[in-house]
A and B are shown apart, each in its own frame.
Chain A
Amino acid sequence: MRLGLRGQLLVVSSLLLALPFLGLRSAREIEAFLVETQEQGLTSTAKAVATALHERPGIFSTDASTTEAASPAAAELRIETLTAPIVVDGQANDWPAQPGAQSEVTAELAEPPANGSTKFRYRVGRHERSVYVLAEVIDDSVIRHDSEFPRTDASDHVLIAMVTADDEFLRFAIHEAGDGAARVSLAGQDGTNVPDPRVEAALSETDEGYRVEARIPRALMGSRLALGVRDVDDRATRLVVASAGTSGMSRREELGRVFVPSPELAALAQGLGRARSRLWVVDARGRVLARAGSLQGTRAPKAPPTWRQRLVMELRPLYRSILVEPTEDFTDQGPDATRIEGTELTRVLKGESARWRRRTTDGRAAVLSAAEPVWSEGKVVGAVLAEETTNETLAARNRAFERLFFSIALVVVFGALTLLAFATRLSVRIRGLRDAVEKAIDRQGRVKGDVPHSGAGDEIGDLSRSFGSILESQRQYTAYLEGLRSRLSHEIRTPVAVVRSSLDNLRLHDLPAPASIYLDRADEGLARLITVLQRMTEASRLEQTLATTERESFDMARVVTGCVEGYRLANPLRRIDLALEFLNPPMMVMGAPDLVAQLLDKLVENALDFARPDTALDIRLARGLGLALLTVSNDGPLIPEGDADKLFDSMVSVRPADPTGKVHLGLGLTIVRAIGDFHDAPVSALNRRDGSGVTFSVAFPLDRTARPHEAD
């Protein structure tokens, strides 16, 4: 395949396409570096928080349970710290609507129900001197307390069981007393109950069942607390069909422990936490003491994009296929998580630092975690866990890559365009030079024009100038040759005239008989010399003739027929075959019939010289494809391989020396071509396919404008 300069340069410039891959590689390296940095930052955060918590046993020992043996997690009741007091009115709207608040745990059924089920959601909060309880009970029929069935378990109720600060085991039952009022009573183990004002409560019916809100004085509270629900559905039998509770409630040992996350810790974590990172403080058993921050970052409102950013965004789908876009749309480990477990954390709680990576629960984002143990008096009392998604890093990496990619794209596009323009300019200049050089020299090797002088200082300029000087030398040389030819003929003609006139004068005198023989020979020699002179100037004279000849439309067949008649007369011993094909309508050609006759003369002359004397000359005129094809063919020696084109060049004769002493200057075929060119007719010489001889052909374009009646 032939590839132009432009193609070659484009192929070379495709190396530029390696740039985006380099960019991608560096983006990945940047990412690894950034993630590493982020992890280190996270570790330092965790360390900082852990250091702040060192040797502050107070924080970790507010709850004595930390020192006790672990009890089932479900039995623990977590008390959140509220920022404002709750109005006890049976409405949940003044509970802070934290999405991550420690509410909503479906209580497990203590006794599986025979039919139906009992569920309730609860929250326990603390503010100053009060502990608040919120319980949402799901119940399809609410049975109120009435005096007919005074037993505690004869109607629906919520049960709050506690061990008080005075180590007293108390159970408060909250019934609906009608009209949305709540009846709070101290329930005995035997089903009896007496109203008790220590606990304040409110009750309201909801679509699902009913809601109970209660306030317990903090002074009353001890270290154990449990919530429960008893469901009575039948107004007649008044039997408890289902019951549920946060733990067992019949004995004080069954009650779950109260667990109060440290507000101090929370404040501390809040202060140390970083944007987009989540900080956990857990105690030695993995219970969450405090949590701050969120993995989800808030999206900053975007400034209107600049043109560059818009361009960058246009390219986004391209590199999206290469790099993953981080998403903030993920969910991770429920917000109600109150306990964190895991091998890494276990390791931390044994006193090691740890750092790990994981996917979010739904796998849509990667989370970096770093954990540090908190020491107190030589023991690990807890751990600080810091978490962050890699989103910000990925986004930073993507931004960097986008900018890089954009720049690379610009460089590639502009680089390729510049190279293309450059290559185009180069090839235009080189082609211009080539055309100029080709135009400057005609087929005979004569310098006709000039290569425009180039002022360019580069190699092409040099080349052009050097071509110019070569052409100038060539011009001088050909001018010298041509001048030599015509000067020679002119200069020889004068001495010839001297010889001839001398001979003629000699004849005027009386001479001895043998003298005339020599005079005749001298004349013969002179005649030959003169023929040589004429041949020498024939080509250049033909050019003058061509320049002044007027073109006319003529019938090719008539010229050829006439000429062949002449050749037959002139060469009675030779067989000359003429074949004319497709003569109707006449083959009109625009040109000069005399010149065509001269052309045919030269071809026939050439053919007769070469053909073996006993063979026929074959002249053929045929029509085809808007052409009149004239061929002259003869048996005889073949044209040497590769010489077919040179044959028509000036001064080239491939024939061997002629024993007859005829003059061959190799101009005959040059004249053929000159006349052919005059008629826009390409001339060619071919060996016959069977190798028996040579065929010369000239393809004259037919004159399409000629009308038939102009034929004669």
Chain B
Amino acid sequence: MSRRIAIVEDDPSIRQNYRDGLVSQGYEVAAYEDRKRALEAFKTHLPDLALLDIGLGSDVDGGFALCRELRALSATLPIIFLTARDSDFDVVSGLRMGADDYVTKDVSLPHLFARIGALFRRIEASSEPMNAVETLVRGALTLDVARVQASWKGRQADLTLTEFWLVHALAKHPGHVKDRQSLMNAAKLLVDDSTITSHIKRVRRKFEAMDEAFDRIETVYGMGYRWNRESD
């Protein structure tokens, strides 16, 4: 059975375009133009994934509120923020609300499909045995590409999709410097340099939360970042 995706977006053109695109990918799509209607529908029938705009018409932060309410209904439902806002503040706020990812509206449809696909894979894979072929191991770091999940020293790291792809891009070729542009491509993002910087900072912090001695991601000033090989 096809997966059901809910789009909450106030702009009819974008709503229709995304809807058309997703339908063409074989998803079942329910589109809502405001928070009230969406919430009513969610209460009767939860979608498999929600794509939320933050500003919903006059409801400036409606997306955030909806995200909270949706999280209350389901703790595991994948949520992606899709917004015209791209400030660090909004990114951080969105992720704190419990969203799984955050993309700006200038993302291309193929990128969006990739994200959605990856999120679904993550959910599916959590219930399936691990596929050895699609696993990347770099010392203590294990990246399950299929399930889009990372673990450090055996413990699962709570990374968003964007963050996972950043780590994956870095760890794939340890010792190679990845500049911001290639990281952006890898993460299927279209953001400015400082957003990459803050993404990297968040990734470091998440690893450091698990292991204080974490120092794998090195900044190469003026060029980008590099995954350090195991020193031992």
Residue B222 lies at the interface, judged by CB distance under 8 Å to chain A: yes
Q: Can you list, as one digit per residue, whether each of B16-29 has a CB less than 8 Å from chain A (1) or not (0)?
A: 01101100100000
Majority DSSP secondary structure for residues of B touching A: mixed
Q: Can you list, as one digit per residue, whether each of B161-190 has a CB less than 8 Å from chain A (1) or not (0)?
A: 000000000000000000100000000001
Residue A76 lies at the interface, judged by CB distance under 8 Å to chain B: no
Residue B110 lies at the interface, judged by CB distance under 8 Å to chain A: yes
A496 to B190, CA, bound (A): 13
Residue A538 lies at the interface, judged by CB distance under 8 Å to chain B: yes
A635 to B22, CA, bound (A): 53
- In the complex, the chain A residue whose C-beta lies closest to that of B223 is A566
Contact of B108 among A500, A562, A569, A601 (CB under 8 A): A500
- Whole-angstrom distance from the CB of A521 to the nearest CB of chain B? 15
In the assembled complex, which residues on chain A have CB atoms less than 8 Å from the CB atom of B89? 544
In the assembled complex, which residues on chain A have CB atoms less than 8 Å from the CB atom of B197? 594
Task: Give the contacts of B171-223 with A (CB-CB under 8 A).
Answer: 179, 190-194, 197-198, 219-223
- Whole-angstrom distance from the CB of B94 to the nearest CB of chain A? 15
Asked if A505 and B223 sit within 8 Å, CB to CB, the answer is no
Asked if B219 and A496 sit within 8 Å, CB to CB, the answer is no
Among A497, A541, A567, find the residue whose CB has the most chain B CB atoms closer than 10 A: A497
Known: A494-B105, A502-B17, A505-B109. A565 touches B192 (CB 8 A): no
Among B109, B190, B221, find the residue whose CB has the most chain A CB atoms closer than 10 A: B221
Asked if A559 and B222 sit within 8 Å, CB to CB, the answer is yes
Q: Can you list, as one digit per residue, whether each of A541-575 has a CB less than 8 Å from chain B (1) or not (0)?
A: 11011001000000000111111111101000000
18 contacts between A and B (CB under 8 A): A493-B104, A493-B106, A496-B105, A497-B84, A497-B105, A498-B14, A500-B108, A504-B21, A505-B21, A559-B222, A560-B221, A562-B223, A566-B221, A594-B194, A596-B221, A597-B222, A598-B193, A600-B222
Those 3 A-B pairs whose CB atoms lie nearest each other, nearest first: A563-B222, A504-B109, A562-B221
Contact of B179 among A500, A561, A566 (CB under 8 A): A566
In the assembled complex, which residues on chain A have CB atoms less than 8 Å from the CB atom of B106? 493, 496-497, 500, 526, 530, 533
Residues of B with Cβ closer than 8 Å to A? 11, 13-14, 17-18, 20-21, 24, 84-89, 104-106, 108-110, 179, 190-194, 197-198, 219-224
Asked if A505 and B20 sit within 8 Å, CB to CB, the answer is yes
A295 to B109, CA, bound (A): 126
Asked if B24 and A505 sit within 8 Å, CB to CB, the answer is yes
Residue A236 lies at the interface, judged by CB distance under 8 Å to chain B: no
Asked if B88 and A593 sit within 8 Å, CB to CB, the answer is no
In the assembled complex, which residues on chain A have CB atoms less than 8 Å from the CB atom of B105? 493-494, 496-497, 500
- Whole-angstrom distance from the CB of B104 to the nearest CB of chain A? 7
- In the complex, the chain A residue whose C-beta lies closest to that of B192 is A534
- Whole-angstrom distance from the CB of A99 to the nearest CB of chain B? 111
- Whole-angstrom distance from the CB of B26 to the nearest CB of chain A? 12
Residues of A with Cβ closer than 8 Å to B? 490, 493-494, 496-498, 500-502, 504-505, 508, 526, 530, 533-534, 537-538, 541-542, 544-545, 548, 558-567, 569, 593-594, 596-598, 600-601
Contact of B221 among A548, A569, A597 (CB under 8 A): A597
Asked if A566 and B222 sit within 8 Å, CB to CB, the answer is yes
Contact of A501 among B14, B86, B193, B224 (CB under 8 A): B14
In the assembled complex, which residues on chain A have CB atoms less than 8 Å from the CB atom of B20? 505
In the assembled complex, which residues on chain A have CB atoms less than 8 Å from the CB atom of B18? 501
Give me 6 other A-B pairs in contact (C-beta within 8 A), A501-B21, A502-B17 excluded. A500-B105, A500-B106, A501-B109, A504-B21, A541-B88, A562-B223
In the assembled complex, which residues on chain B have CB atoms less than 8 Å from the CB atom of A494? 11, 14, 84, 105
- Whole-angstrom distance from the CB of A569 to the nearest CB of chain B? 7
In the assembled complex, which residues on chain A have CB atoms less than 8 Å from the CB atom of B11? 494, 497-498
In the assembled complex, which residues on chain B have CB atoms less than 8 Å from the CB atom of A542? 194
Asked if B24 and A508 sit within 8 Å, CB to CB, the answer is yes
Asked if A490 and B24 sit within 8 Å, CB to CB, the answer is no
Asked if B14 and A504 sit within 8 Å, CB to CB, the answer is no
Contact of B222 among A505, A526, A565 (CB under 8 A): A565
In the assembled complex, which residues on chain B have CB atoms less than 8 Å from the CB atom of A565? 220, 222-223
A569 to B179, CA, bound (A): 11
Asked if A569 and B223 sit within 8 Å, CB to CB, the answer is yes
- Whole-angstrom distance from the CB of A560 to the nearest CB of chain B? 8
In the assembled complex, which residues on chain A have CB atoms less than 8 Å from the CB atom of B109? 500-501, 504-505, 508
- In the complex, the chain A residue whose C-beta lies closest to that of B181 is A570
In the assembled complex, which residues on chain A have CB atoms less than 8 Å from the CB atom of B86? 493, 534, 537
A522 to B98, CA, bound (A): 35
A565 to B220, CA, bound (A): 9
- Whole-angstrom distance from the CB of A509 to the nearest CB of chain B? 9
Asked if B192 and A538 sit within 8 Å, CB to CB, the answer is yes
A593 to B198, CA, bound (A): 13
Known: A490-B85, A493-B84, A542-B194. A594 touches B110 (CB 8 A): no
In the assembled complex, which residues on chain B have CB atoms less than 8 Å from the CB atom of A541? 87-88, 192, 194
- Whole-angstrom distance from the CB of B17 to the nearest CB of chain A? 4
- In the complex, the chain B residue whose C-beta lies closest to that of A548 is B88
In the assembled complex, which residues on chain B have CB atoms less than 8 Å from the CB atom of A562? 220-223
